[in-house]
């Protein structure tokens, strides 16, 4: 892979290059994954908890069971059903984004720091993040086996008797095509909450944003704090992690297929 450092900085570029070398199928290094997940929780100041591995007959069955098991734990306060598909909140997600409608948590603080850097610097930082996203988009879709995850998530929803549907407020004046697009977006939000590859790639995005601010002489502590949260997931993905959800009592994890 050609080295590209024009706008994202060397730290983000290193993560991009590491992830690009990760094979779609790879053996699981269980202890390395668990150590990386523990580091992820420490960076979030979230209490340590055991990892519960979901291991079924094949990777699709494991993914389907992973979604079902995670949702059962995360939705139990709503009698096993989500308030809205796409709005599932893990323990780590709440630390990153806060618990209210307005963005808070570590990400809110980082975006506030980015905004304080000025509109021009902020635009450049966001351009750098988009550049990372573009470079890693194909890799993320392959590494996360996005089609498999979509099928597994849909099967898990249907097995629980929960079907994707657009709310009445959304449906007013909407075409069937728009409703399907919204439903697809909601399902993708559910998938991204558990997709280790997608979250690992986020480390490079935040490193790129921090690089732009640092180059402009601006403060970057809050941005680098978010990057440190995601960086251990690069190690976890390299070691074979496919899916994970942090619940109140444990971390539910699914390994990527070792072959095929």
End-to-end alpha carbon distance in the chain? 23
> Which is nearest to 213 in space by CA: 120, 110, 125, 115?
125
Q: Decide if 201 is inside a domain.
A: yes
Give pLDDT < 50 ranges for the chain: 1-5, 163-169
Q: Decide if 129 is inside a domain.
A: yes
Q: Can you tell me the distance from the alpha carbon of 175 to that of 172, in angstroms, rounded to the nearest whole number?
A: 9
- CA angle 65/142/84 to nearest 5° reads 45
Give kind and range of the element (H or E) at residue 253.
strand 251-255
Q: Can you tell me the distance from the alpha carbon of 193 to that of 216, in angstroms, rounded to the nearest whole number?
A: 32
Q: Decide if 3 is inside a domain.
A: no
Q: Decide if 260 is inside a domain.
A: no
Task: Note the pLDDT of residue 38.
Answer: 98
In terms of C-beta distances under 8 Å and separation of at least 24 residues, what long-range contacts does 90-96 make, across chains too? Answer: 90/193, 90/245, 90/246, 90/247, 91/46, 91/246, 91/247, 91/248, 92/40, 92/41, 92/44, 92/46, 92/229, 92/246, 93/193, 95/44, 95/45, 95/46, 96/44, 96/226, 96/229
Q: Can you tell me the distance from the alpha carbon of 209 to that of 234, in angstroms, rounded to the nearest whole number?
A: 18
Q: Decide if 6 is inside a domain.
A: no
Give the count of domains, the chain. 1
Task: Note the pLDDT of residue 3.
Answer: 44
**pLDDT of 217-242, one tens digit each?**
999 999 999 999 999 999 999 999 99
Query: 3-state DSSP call for residue 128?
Result: helix
Q: Decide if 189 is inside a domain.
A: yes
Q: Decide if 140 is inside a domain.
A: yes
Q: What is the DSSP string of 209-242?
A: HHHHHHHTT---HHHHHHHHHHHHHHHHHHTTEE
Task: Note the pLDDT of residue 162.
Answer: 58
Domain that holds residue 247: 11-255
**pLDDT of 117-165, one tens digit each?**
999 999 999 999 999 999 999 999 999 999 999 999 989 888 766 544 4
Say whether pTM exceeds 0.85. yes
Q: Decide if 1 is inside a domain.
A: no
């Amino acid at each position: 892979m050609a080295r590209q450092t024009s706008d994202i900085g060397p730290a983000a570029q290193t993560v991009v290059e590491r992830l690009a070398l990760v094979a779609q199928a790879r053996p699981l290094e269980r202890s390395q994954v668990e150590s990386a997940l523990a580091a992820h929780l420490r960076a979030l100041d979230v209490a340590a908890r055991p990892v519960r591995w979901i291991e079924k007959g094949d990777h699709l069955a494991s993914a389907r069971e992973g979604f079902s098991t995670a949702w059962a734990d995360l939705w139990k306060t709503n009698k096993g059903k989500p308030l809205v598909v796409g709005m599932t909140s893990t323990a780590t997600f709440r630390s990153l984004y806060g618990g209210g409608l307005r963005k808070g948590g570590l990400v809110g603080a980082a975006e506030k720091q980015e905004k304080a850097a000025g509109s021009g610097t902020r635009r450049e930082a966001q351009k750098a993040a988009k550049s990372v996203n573009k470079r890693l988009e194909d890799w993320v879709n392959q590494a996360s086996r996005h089609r498999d995850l979509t099928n597994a998530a849909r099967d898990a929803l249907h097995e629980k008797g929960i079907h994707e549907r657009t709310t009445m407020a959304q449906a007013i004046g909407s075409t069937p095509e728009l409703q399907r697009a919204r439903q697809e977006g909601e399902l993708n939000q559910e998938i991204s909450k558990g997709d280790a590859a997608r979250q690992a790639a986020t480390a490079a995005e935040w490193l790129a944003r921090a690089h732009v601010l640092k180059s402009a002489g601006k403060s970057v502590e809050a941005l680098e704090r978010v990057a440190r949260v995601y960086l251990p997931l690069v190690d976890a993905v390299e070691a074979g992690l496919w899916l994970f959800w942090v619940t109140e009592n444990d971390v539910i994890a699914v390994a990527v297929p070792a072959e095929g």
